[in-house]
Amino acid sequence: MSLIGALSRLSLQSTALASRCFHTTTVLCAEPLKKKKKIDPQVIKQREDRKKKKIEKQIRRLEKNARQLKPVEELEVPLELIDDKAKRLRKLPQLNGAEQETRALLIKEWARFKHNEKVADFQIIDRLLQSQNKALDELRNESEELYQAAIEVDLQLLAVPLKGPVSTPPIKNYVSPDGDYNHQSMKWE
Amino acid sequence: MFRRLTQISAKQLARTQSTAATGAAKEKWDLYAGVLVERLPVVSKTLNPLERRFQDMLLNVEYENSLKSDHELKHERDLVQLEQIKQGKVQVDLDEGVAKQTAQDLKDAYIEELKKFEAAPRTTPDDAANKTSSTDRCLEDTLYLLVQQKLGQQQHLLLPQGQRQEGETMRQTAERVVREQCGNDLKVLFYGNAPVGFHKYKYPSNQRANSVGAKVFFFRASLRAGNVQAGTKDAPAAQYEWLPKEALSQKLKNAAYAESINKFLI
């Protein structure tokens, strides 16, 4: 029984080999080495020079362009506005003396008001600092360890979004209407 | 030799004095963390008369210095054309006349559209009802949170405070106090690890067995979302109020406590 089994295995192997027909080895793929071409050293030098010149030219071009700034469209006044500036001027009557006087007085009053406001602000800041320093001193008296923990920087505050006060409160569940959207930004190389 | 002796005795004297001083200072005090939770203003302050006058003046100056817009130019052209048609100098092309929209028409349409939009009022129903537990009122002012707490036998309206436990920093205590007294719904943002204010008080003389009194370190925090959950199991605060600065000082019964708090209110 074992002999028959071995024979059948052998025949299977031989058919597998036969289907491939032939095969090559790496040695057969080899080829004799080519003779190295000898190049004139002057030619090599010329080539390198040419390469160098090309790169230098590119660098020069880049340096020249580096000084040119990207134009900011918003900063350039459109030509048509310059052209009809005369048309767009408002021809208003000159302010009379009384009006000028009230304006000047108002500006002075405003300056005083803002000054007082600033002084009050500084006083508040002083008061807050004093309060905090006292709290920290008291904490240090109690425990140096707690004090050290208190003066550590709070890194969570680094990315805090704050929304300032607005003129009217937000409407709940208000869906803002969609506007038209034109993408106009230009590309600059 | 004699000098050295005197030096030593002086040193010893100094040492005994310092130990006596520290012994006096080492009365045991309980450490508490208090939290000043503030609801920042939602809308800007109403302008006072001077600010309003100055704003009007600035708007006038702005108008005087400005150039006419395209819309205004178009409006002027429309007026000229209308005059010419009236005088019969220009023939009206009927088809064109119907289709053409004057600048005035456009302006009317814009105003009509604007009228349809109604901005929310700057005062809320909670303002009218004087509902102090709501954060949706006094939108112009900063509101501060007071919570009713039991100190000794009595209930007091105070800034939320609680005793420090072993191993906690004061900031951690403050965070725990907010959680415990106001519930998990209240989201606050703490401004740094350092306390902003300090207050200390002594216990009644019959309760000074363990410690003499309490030192409260206040932390500033701002409200981000939510409100206090009153009367629930994990938030025992029975009563709480959000008050602006003036009302807050009136509400605090203890003058010394009110003074300590006023030092770090803005």
Q: Does A171 touch chain B (CB under 8 A)?
A: yes
Same-domain check for residues B222 and B159: yes
Pairwise CB contact (< 8 Å): B264 & A131: yes
**The pLDDT value given to residue B18:** 42
Tens of pLDDT, residue by residue over B201-223, are 998 888 888 889 999 999 999 99
B143-172 residues touching A, CB cutoff 8 A: 169-171
Give every CB contact of residue A51 below 8 A, 6+ residues apart in sequence.
none
Entry field: residues in chain B: 266
pLDDT of residue B95: 59
Q: Is the pLDDT of residue A4 over 70?
A: no
Here the CATH number for the domain that contains residue B146 is: 3.90.79.10
Closest residue of B to A85, CA-based? B67
Say yes or no: B142 and B96 in one domain.
no
Q: Minimal Cα–Cα distance from A155 to chain B, Å?
A: 9
**Pair B172, B53 in one domain:** no
The pLDDT value given to residue B261: 93
Asked whether residue B139 is domain-assigned, the answer is yes
- For residue B140, what pLDDT is reported? 93
User: For chain B, how many helices (H) and strands (E)?
Assistant: 9, 8
Residues B143, B204, single domain; the answer is: yes
The C-alpha atoms of residue A56 and residue A3 are separated, in whole angstroms, by: 81
Within-domain flag for B208: yes
Beta carbons of B189 and A160 less than 8 angstroms apart: yes
Confidence check: pLDDT of B16 > 90? no
Note whether residue B65 is domain-resident.
yes
pLDDT score recorded for residue B11: 46
B145 touches B181 (CB < 8 A): no
Asked if residues B131 and B234 have their Cβ atoms less than 8 Å apart, the reply is no
What is the structure's pLDDT at B98? 53
pLDDT above 70 (res B185): yes
H helix or E strand, kind and range, residue B34:
strand B29-39
Across the interface, whether the CB atoms of A85 and B198 are under 8 A apart is answered no
What's the pLDDT band for A110 if we cut at 50, 70, 90?
Answer: very high
Q: Are residues B34 and B154 in the same domain?
A: yes
What part of B 235-254 touches A (C-beta under 8 Å)?
none
Distance CA B107, CA A32 (A): 90
How far the first Cα of chain B sits from its last, in Å, is 63
Residue A105: both structure tokens together: 């007085």
Q: Is B198 in contact with A134 (Cβ distance < 8 A)?
A: yes
Q: In the predicted model, what is the mean pLDDT of residues B239-251?
A: 90
Please give the residue that has the higher pLDDT: either B25 or A34. A34
Q: What is the pLDDT confidence band of residue B229, given thresholds at 50, 70 and 90?
A: confident
In a shared domain, residues B93 and B159: no
Bigger pLDDT: B97 vs A184: A184
Instruction: Give the separation between CA B100 and CA B104, rounded to whole angstroms.
Output: 11
Same domain, B246 and B153: yes
Alpha carbons A89 and B64: distance in angstroms, whole number: 9
Domain boundaries, chain A: 40-70, 99-152
Q: What is the pLDDT of residue B13?
A: 42
What mean pLDDT, rounded, does chain B reach? 84
Residues of B in contact with A113 (CB under 8 A): 50-51
| Residue B257 touches chain A, beta carbons under 8 Å | no
CA distance B210 to B29: 9
Averaged pLDDT, B134-141: 91
C-alpha B172, offset from chain centre: 22
B194 Cβ under 8 Å from any chain A Cβ: yes
Determine, for residues B120 and A169 on separate chains, whether the beta-carbon distance falls below 8 Å.
yes
Q: What is the DSSP string of B190-230?
A: E--SS--EEEEEEPPGGG-SS-SEEEEEEEEEEEEE----T
Q: Which domain, by its residues, includes B66?
A: 49-116
Task: Name every residue whose Cβ is closer than 8 Å to that of residue B226 and which is 6 or more positions away in sequence.
Answer: B185, B186, B187
Cα distance between residue B139 and residue B44, in whole Å: 8
Residue B12 lies in a domain: no
Interface membership of B119 toward A (CB under 8 Å):
yes
Last residue within a domain, chosen from B116, B139, B163: B116
Query: Considering its fold, how many domains does chain B have in total?
Result: 2
Computed on alpha carbons and rounded to an integer, the radius of gyration of chain A in Å comes to: 43
d(CA B119, CA B122): 9
Same domain, B211 and B102: no
Return the pLDDT at A40.
Answer: 87
Mean pLDDT of B92-107: 72
Q: Which residues of B touch A160 (CB under 8 A)?
A: 189
Q: A–B: how many Cβ contacts below 8 A?
A: 114
Separation CA A132–CA B196 (nearest Å): 4
Supply angle C-alpha A156, A157, A160, rounded to 5: 110
CA-nearest of B167, B132, B144 to B220 is B144
* CA neighbours closer than 13 Å in the CB half-sphere of residue A183: 2
Identify whether B13 is part of a domain. Answer: no
Phi-psi domain of B226 (left: phi exceeds 0; alpha: psi -120 through 50; beta: other): left
Residue B133 lies inside a defined structural domain of this protein: yes
What residue type is B172 in one-letter code? Q
CB-CB under 8 Å, B44 with A165:
yes
Same domain, B93 and B170: no
Under an 8 A CB cutoff, do B194 and A109 touch? Answer: no
Residues of A in contact with B41 (CB under 8 A): 165
From the CB of residue B202, how many other CB atoms can be counted at a distance below 10 Å? 13
CB contact under 8 A, A132 and B197: yes
Inside any domain, residue B17 = no
Asked if residue B144 and residue B108 are part of one domain, the reply reads no
Residues in chain A: 189
Mean pLDDT, rounded, of chain A: 84
Question: Taking a contact as any Cβ pair under 8 Å apart, which residues of chain B between 41 and 60 contact chain A?
Answer: 41-45, 50-51, 53-54, 57
Residue B18 resides in a domain:
no
Q: Give the distance between the most distant pair of CA atoms in chain B.
A: 128
